[in-house]
Amino acid sequence: MSEPKMARIMCPNLTCRKVLSIPETARGKTVRCKSCGTSIRIPSSKPTKPAGQPEQGAQTPPSN
């Protein structure tokens, strides 16, 4: 149980887009892409918002 959890982030540099494995301990810090040297800020918490979930409208049309 001593294995550090790794998170994967993609380099924001569109010409690089390298997937980097960073330890969870690096959250809230800035890491540098090994490939292009871009500084990437690691968010301290995971985005918990479910992506691509359309809101279901429970609107019923008036049946009169």
Q: Write out the residues near Zn ion by the rule CB under 5 A.
A: 11, 13, 16, 18, 33, 35-36, 38
Q: What is the DSSP string of 11-22?
A: -S-TTT--EEEE
* H or E element that contains 7: strand 6-10
Amino acid at 47: P
CB of 44 to Zn ion, least distance (A): 21
Whose Cβ is closer to Zn ion: residue 9's or residue 38's? 38
For the bound state, the minimum distance from the C-beta of residue 11 to Zn ion, rounded and expressed in Å, comes to 3
**H or E stretch including 6?**
strand 6-10
Q: Which is nearer to Zn ion, 27 or 35 (CB)?
A: 35
